[in-house]
Chains A and B, each alone.
Chain A
């Protein structure tokens, strides 16, 4: 009986190790940007919708912190994070600029109408130049830019409340009122 128990024991030890491995694997999935600590690239882009509305410049938020969320209707994970963005928008702590990346205007407008619009303003980056400037490699990605216009945090992948509370809210200076 003795030696036949060995396989189970070995297996359970291995399972334990694998469990630790799985639990720790999120540590490895955070991504960092070469932009961290550097000024956010300036942009001036057309706003989504009626062309008469004109353009929006990133300088408009100079002196206050803001959030940039890169998304597209073609992006599966953007769909996943959308409800979270809506909840975040309801908190009304920071303005969220939506960067509609390589997308179709009509689809984007339909998306926002049907699902709700968490963005303070949506700008259209059809060529993807601004996204490249920000070092974006895939959607969704969300950036925290501080009051001096410096990129302080970049989150790759679908936004979660946990990340928002931990990494974004924590960076808001107290002088900014909700």
Chain B
């Protein structure tokens, strides 16, 4: 019957549509999920080399190097066990400073983290939760100096 055919088509259409939407949705999700890695995980080679991810840690005191007159800046991020060098070429947020927590988004390139976004917040007590948790879960050994990380 016409009516039944119409209904069947409608139902199939909806199922196909939902299936397609779910598939597209999961692809969108996958490509936008960003995982968090601390410098030690990068040193252990756990961080991806081809995907954008979040790096968090403390900005090492005295590590901020700016090329005078340009926006290029280099600094180091540490979790007191390993350190990762970071480069960035845009305006740094107002609250970015040495000895404070920071989160950067970007990619690893030859062991250097090339950041395309550096985050800070309008809150005087800024410590990204993942950084705090990571530092708390893996307290630095008492005397080990921070080692440069070698991302693959």
List A residues at the B interface (Cβ < 8 Å).
25, 27-34, 36-37, 135, 137-138, 156-157
Instruction: List 17 A–B pairs whose Cβ atoms lie within 8 Å, in order of A's numbering.
Output: A27-B129, A27-B132, A28-B129, A28-B130, A28-B132, A28-B133, A29-B129, A32-B58, A32-B136, A33-B99, A34-B58, A34-B99, A36-B80, A36-B140, A135-B99, A137-B124, A138-B125
- Set of chain B residues within 8 Å of A137, measured between Cβ atoms: 100, 124-125
Contact (Cβ within 8 A) B142 A27: no
CA distance A39 to B130 in the complex (A): 27
CA distance A29 to B96 in the complex (A): 19
Closest chain A residue to B100, Cβ basis: A137
- Set of chain B residues within 8 Å of A34, measured between Cβ atoms: 58, 60-61, 98-99
List B residues at the A interface (Cβ < 8 Å).
58, 60-61, 80, 98-101, 124-125, 127, 129-130, 132-133, 135-136, 140, 142-143
Partner of B80 from the list A29, A37, A135 (CB cut-off 8 Å) is A37
CA distance A29 to B136 in the complex (A): 10
Contact (Cβ within 8 A) A31 B99: no
- Set of chain A residues within 8 Å of B136, measured between Cβ atoms: 27, 30, 32
CA distance A37 to B79 in the complex (A): 12
CA distance A137 to B132 in the complex (A): 16
Contact (Cβ within 8 A) B125 A31: yes
CA distance A177 to B143 in the complex (A): 27
Partner of B132 from the list A32, A37, A135, A138 (CB cut-off 8 Å) is A32
Known: A37-B142, A137-B125. 14 other contacts (CB 8 A): A25-B129, A28-B129, A28-B130, A29-B132, A30-B132, A31-B132, A33-B99, A34-B60, A36-B80, A37-B140, A135-B99, A137-B100, A138-B124, A157-B125
CA distance A73 to B92 in the complex (A): 33
Contact (Cβ within 8 A) A32 B135: yes
- Set of chain A residues within 8 Å of B80, measured between Cβ atoms: 32, 36-37
